[in-house]
Amino acid sequence: MEKPSELKYKEFWDERYQDSNFAYGKEPNLFFKEQVQKLKPGIMLLPADGEGRNGVFAAKLGWKVTAVDLSKEGELKALKLAKEQKVNINYIVDDIEKVEFPNESFDVVALIYAHFPSWKISTIHKKLTQLLKENGTIIFEAYSKKHLAYKEANPKAGGPGDIDMLFSLAQIQTDFKGFEIQILEEKEIVLNEGEFHQGAGSVIRFVGKKISH
């Protein structure tokens, strides 16, 4: 039996993605785009990839992409985008916490605005660390705890309204111990991603290489 809040979460994303427009556009997130282009293509996991804009971009670069998301509507949009771009992605409709992969399966795990219910964030991050190969890379961008003030000033900036679903530098350092930090910063950026990421916001950005279990 799913927790009511998890079911509500799934319904929220299905409703957001069922419109014919792409909620966050068809172009990849800029930070993800910049970072993934520095890496040699391999096998990538994208939890919470939604309508597939990042996974499809990676596939165009030659990555073998697995996306996982709760939303069936997200899958339909992602596969449509993949077909438009003439690439293939493996898309699994499920909770990333429940999906089973062998440990050390992926060269890159990319978490781009992957905001999970607060009680499972650290558990998911630990699981994703185990799924990453030695010397594999995490690419992460999501709203910081300071973002609530931006969202209150401009609801179009997007993001969860629950501060416990937002991130701090300390939390990333704790959750991703055993990583060589290449980028870890909190900064203000201006988002221009579809209808729901518009305007200034505060984000945490992290790129790390897994150097130990």
* Structure tokens, 88: 């293939």
pLDDT tens string 47-101 = 999 999 999 999 999 999 999 999 999 999 999 999 999 999 999 999 999 999 9
Helices (H), 86-168: 121-131, 147-153
Q: Which structural domain range is residue 173 located in? A: 4-210
pLDDT tens string 124-162 = 999 999 999 999 999 999 999 999 999 999 999 999 999
Nearest to 37 by CA among 53, 60, 64: 60
* Structure tokens, 69: 């998301």
DSSP strand pairing (132-143 vs 106-112)? parallel
Read off the CATH number of the domain in which 172 is found.
3.40.50.150
Q: Domain count of the chain? A: 1
Q: Which pTM value belongs to this model?
A: 0.94
Q: H/E element holding 43?
A: strand 43-47
